[in-house]
Amino acid sequence: MKHLIITIIGKDRSGLVELLSDTVFQNNGNWLSSSLSKLAGQFAGILQVEVAPEDMPQLSAALAKIDELQIHIVEEAKKAAPVPVLHQLTVTGNDRPGIVKEVTTLLSQLNININILETETQSAPNWGYPIFIANFQLEIPANIDLDIIQDELEKLADDLTVDIEDYVPA
């Protein structure tokens, strides 16, 4: 079996997930996992599908016929890698331009891989300005002390709150 990683984006409307799932099913694919979201009126996501090699062309062609979605398909790279140790990082601070860039640049410099990043801004009525919240799932190399990561992140700005803990799946 082959594993495909499929990214999608298009104008949001009711029924898009059903259309995708039906297309995968009707073309002998098995929907393994996904992360789908509505952002600013757009439907965007990524999914992993398992399919027999002989069914890949048919599935790819069927997905390409969905005119309302931009779809990109790549075959999952297979490599024997050790199971990583995952950590959850939460960064909270006053929202400002460049905060995502600063945090992700620092993580990259420390050779930390970002598996998942979810961000949002929330109104802080008592403070008068928006609060930025970022939740990361990270692969942290074993030779890096978590306290060093926390210290380095907190140096980015006085108003950042940083919390790192072992990742526990829901």
C-alpha angle 149-151-152 in degrees, rounded to nearest 5: 65
Q: Rounded to whole angstroms, how far apart are CA atoms 98 and 140?
A: 23
What phi, psi does 43 have (nearest 5°)?
-100, 125
19-40 average pLDDT score: 95
Cα dihedral 71, 68, 114, 78 in deg (nearest 10)? -20
Higher pLDDT, 58 or 95: 58
The predicted-structure confidence for 129-152, as pLDDT tens digits, reads as follows: 889 999 999 999 888 899 999 999
pLDDT band for position 84 (50/70/90)?
Answer: confident
CA distance 32 to 47: 8
* The domains spanning 2-75 and 86-166 adopt the same CATH topology: yes
**Residue-level pLDDT at 143:** 87
Boundaries of every domain in the chain: 2-75, 86-166
Q: Report helix, strand or coil for 41.
A: coil
Give pTM, 2 decimals.
Answer: 0.76
Collect all residues with Cβ–Cβ distance below 8 Å to 34 and sequence separation of at least 6.
45, 46, 47, 48
Report helix angle 56-64 to 16-26, nearest 10. 150
Which class would CATH give 86-166?
alpha beta
Q: What is the pLDDT of residue 124?
A: 76
Cα–Cα distance for residue pair 12/41, rounded to 1 Å: 6
- pLDDT at res. 58: 97
Per-residue pLDDT band at 76 (split at 50, 70, 90): confident
CATH class, range 2-75: alpha beta
> Which is it for strands 2-11 and 70-75: parallel, antiparallel or unpaired?
antiparallel
